[in-house]
Structure 1
Amino acid sequence: MMIPRKLLALALGAGVVDALKDTSPFILLSTSDLLSSSSANVLPATSLLSDVWSSLKTCPSDYYIIATQPGVHATDYSTQKATPRLREKVLGNDKAIRSNITVTEVMGIFDPTSIRNGLEEECGAEVTKIDGGASGTTLEFEGGPRIIDITFPALSLHESRLQELSRNDALLADVLDHIPSSKYTLVYVTTPREYEDEDLSSLTYGSENDLQEPLHQDLKRDFAESRQDDTSDNRSLFQKYQFLSPGIFMGFVVAFVLITILYVGISALVGLEVPYAAFEKDTSPNSQKKQQ
């Protein structure tokens, strides 16, 4: 079973997000061993729907939670504060989760209606609907097999998106905590986010100007500091800068030792005195008798 290391780690670069802004993530978690359990970055909705149904048509669980979150993008989940409880399960911190299907970018609309109808027909599951935007929801569920259909309201297009996702995540976690069985499957379906005209270039991570503004401020601060140093520091050149660093000093010491060794070796070779007679052949009678 492939478990992603980061929840939809998933947020692609700015140049790619424009091309995939009409996509949204998908997550399936189950406490049962499903036939298909893998993760992908980009997948068509039709192909994903076929894979999910091939895993659920065997009725592996007692409870099937189908949570629908409209108006999101993969970048909405890039921060830990967005969906902390769901994030923990996707990262594999919940040991009860045995199957994980995570798709970062689903191309097209994944309609869970066919999954819901198939579970009703094949598994005899009854449906309990929950309005994710209502307050005071009763979380008491009858015996399974049962489908818990949760529909969350679409996220706004402003700064409250993070708080809305976090609130929906808390409700989903409460639903999972109140399930009277350890055998459940969570199908977390999303639909693509809509964008206002002025929001097309910013998405969740901010616009290019927002990303460059801190850099510009750092450059201005560094330039101001250098200007201040040049005008107020009256020290001499050798006092302001270090011309002999410890590395250079160590290099000089090593070079001096090596040159000294080389000098001693050359001096020893030059000092050798060998008489020329040592290279001449001895022709005396005594030498001939020794050879015989």
Structure 2
Amino acid sequence: MVNSFVSAVALAALPSALAFSNASPYFFFSTAEVLIPGAETEVATALDATDRLIESLKSCPTKSYIVVEQHGVSAADYIDEHAAPRLRSYVANPGGNDNKIRSTMIIPEVISSASRFSKMATPAQQIADYIRQNCGAVDVEDTTTSVSKDAKKITTFAVDAPRTEQDLGKTDARIEDLIVELSGSEDYDFTVIYTTTPREEPITHEGSGKKATYEMESPFDDAVQMELKRDLSSHRRASSSKEGALFERYQYFTPGIFMAFIAIIPMFSIIIVGLRALTSLEVSYFAFSKEMGPAASRK
């Protein structure tokens, strides 16, 4: 089951997936049986992925909801099994270790546009607002509102782009702490929506503002490479003549000439067939002679 998680997020490690520089993964898992449209999709837009998650939450399947918004990551950040081990166990191994997870979803490449979300709510905010309005969920942090025992609750938080490898682990631990708090009762149920946003800037070397560049290692040193270069000095054209070579000044095979050759081929074929038909005619010499004798007078 763990391999399913690795194979899902491993798309970012493939050269074909490098084209999606503005993509990041989405995760979803719940203790309820949730029907998620297009759960097997590997590439989707942020708008499409958000609509699918909202569609799956129409029935308000659980009492508690955790909505996470992680900034500045990609699918490759989650390939390492130590990056987010608790998230991996919930999504890749539903039902294992008595985690009671019954529904999961992973979209490794969710293509988003930073300019699109600059003037409107982010996917995590849209999902959280929908849960509040449709399910009547109350924010756990809102201490001014009295919350009944049976009321639905929602916890939302956003995390900045990770600076070290341990930052993703801290977010993973925070989600686990929230789940442990919910597991105080035997009939606890919850749904976790883990959205992410891609990196805004390319990776740079530590301590410098320059972009990281990668050069392919060569088994030959510089001296050998210089010797392997092609010597073009002996093949240089003489530059003494300003007019240039004959085939540089004139074009002897133009599209018009090419079309003429194409037309000549069927024309000659027709002429040859006609000549062969004429030469194959067989007429006796008497057909052109004048008839003489009594038969001609009777006519």
- Give the TM-score taking structure 2 as reference length: 0.57
| Residue of 99, 103, 107 corresponding to 1:99 | 103
Structure 1 counterpart of 2:126: 114
Encode CA deviations 1:231-256: one digit per residue, 9 max, x unaligned. xxxxxxxxxxxxxxxxxxxxxxxxxx
CA apart distance, 1:120: 1.3
Would you say the 8 A contact 1:3–1:39 is kept in 2? no
CA apart distance, 1:208: 5.2
After superposition, residues 221-236 of structure 1 pair within 5 angstroms as none
Structure 2 counterpart of 1:145: 152
User: Percent of counterpart pairs with the same letter?
Assistant: 27
Would you say the 8 A contact 1:24–1:106 is kept in 2? yes
Q: Which runs of at least 4 in structure 1 moved beyond 4 Å after TM superposition?
A: 206-209
Gaps of 5+ in 1: 131-140, 200-205, 220-292
After superposition, residues 1-292 of structure 1 pair within 5 angstroms as 5-7=4-6, 8-13=8-13, 15-36=15-36, 38-95=39-96, 96-108=100-112, 111-129=123-141, 144-156=151-163, 160=164, 162-179=165-182, 180=185, 182-196=188-202, 198=204, 209=215
Q: Provide the rounded CA distance (Å) in 1 between the counterparts of 2:190 and 2:19.
A: 35
* Aligned-partner SS, 1:29: strand
Structure 1 residues 207, 17: closer, same or farther in 2, change over 3 A?
A: farther
Would you say the 8 A contact 2:42–2:107 is kept in 1? yes
CA apart distance, 1:114: 2.1
CA apart distance, 1:35: 2.0
Q: Provide the rounded CA distance (Å) in 2 between the counterparts of 1:64 and 1:9.
A: 24
- Give the TM-score taking structure 1 as reference length: 0.59
Structure 1 residues 36, 93: closer, same or farther in 2, change over 3 A?
A: closer
Structure 2 counterpart of 1:263: none
CA-based RMSD = 3.0
* Aligned-partner SS, 1:121: helix
Encode CA deviations 1:116-141: one digit per residue, 9 max, x unaligned. 122112211101359xxxxxxxxxx9
Structure 1 residues 92, 144: closer, same or farther in 2, change over 3 A?
A: farther
Would you say the 8 A contact 1:62–1:144 is kept in 2? yes
Would you say the 8 A contact 1:88–1:94 is kept in 2? no
Structure 1 residues 78, 119: closer, same or farther in 2, change over 3 A?
A: same
CA apart distance, 1:13: 4.1
Q: Provide the rounded CA distance (Å) in 2 between the counterparts of 1:82 and 1:16.
A: 23
Gaps of 5+ in 2: 114-121, 143-147, 206-211, 221-299
Name the aligned partner's letter for residue 185 of structure 1.
Answer: T
CA apart distance, 1:155: 1.5
CA apart distance, 1:164: 0.7
Higher strand share: 1
Structure 1 residues 193, 6: closer, same or farther in 2, change over 3 A?
A: same
Would you say the 8 A contact 2:25–2:74 is kept in 1? yes
